[in-house]
Amino acid sequence: MRSIRAAGLILLLLGVSGFTDCYKPVTNSGLPRHIRTVAVPVFQTEPTGLRYRVESRFTDAVSREIIRRGNGLKVQGSTTGADAVIEGTIRDFSFSGVLLDREGRARVYEVTIVSAVTIRDLREQKVLFDNQNFIFRDSFEFSEDPRSFFNEEDPAVERIARAFAEAAVSAFVNGLGVREERK
């Protein structure tokens, strides 16, 4: 009986000790330690006049997301005095019907925004993250009743801007895609 208990205790200890590395709290953001202030200048648009305020919506969403998840990072619009900069360009905006009703009218529309983002360490003069083909999509449906019509394009663009900001800031704060210098 004693050997069964000892064997059970040994198996229990081996089983528990095997899982000690499964949970490690995140204590480091993955960013270089000297980055405390991040500049987020207004995003650019490649074809000018894409849609009203798309670039400012993306800029605002990124700034809010850094404040929300940046663990004390400061955000400013100018690169003067900043440790890093997030530069973005809205490269394309498309709006198309994807589902038709019985009369052949578009009922469901899809908004697609293609953007580019580059995150630079201004002190070390190196690129931390670069994705020139960030693609985000959202869809919305028009109501059949013209009396309850509400243009869903603006809320769709807001949702895309938030999704973009979450992805870009996650890559930035967590150090995803950060290019390491090879020694």
Residue-level pLDDT at 80: 92
Strand runs (DSSP E) across 101-156, as ranges? 106-121, 126-141
Average pLDDT of 131-136? 87
Helix, strand, coil percentages for the chain (3-state, nearest 5): 30, 30, 40
Integer angstrom CA distances of residue 69 from 29, 109, 172:
10, 32, 10
Distance (Å, whole) CA 134 – CA 91 = 9
CA distance 54 to 65: 17
Q: Average pLDDT in the 109-132 region?
A: 88
Average pLDDT over residues 121-143: 84
Least confident range of 20-34, 57-71, 124-138, 156-170: 20-34
- Do residues 46 and 89 lie in contact, with contact meaning Cβ atoms separated by under 8 Å? yes
CA 86, distance to chain mean position in Å, is 12
CA of residue 51 relative to chain centroid, distance: 21
What amino acid occupies position 41? P
- pLDDT number for residue 86: 92
3-state secondary structure of 16: helix
Which positions ≥6 away from 178 have C-beta within 8 Å? 30, 31, 128, 129
Which stretch of 14-28, 68-82, 118-132, 156-170 has the lowest confidence by average pLDDT? 14-28
Domains of the chain (ranges, CATH numbers):
2-173 (3.30.160.150)
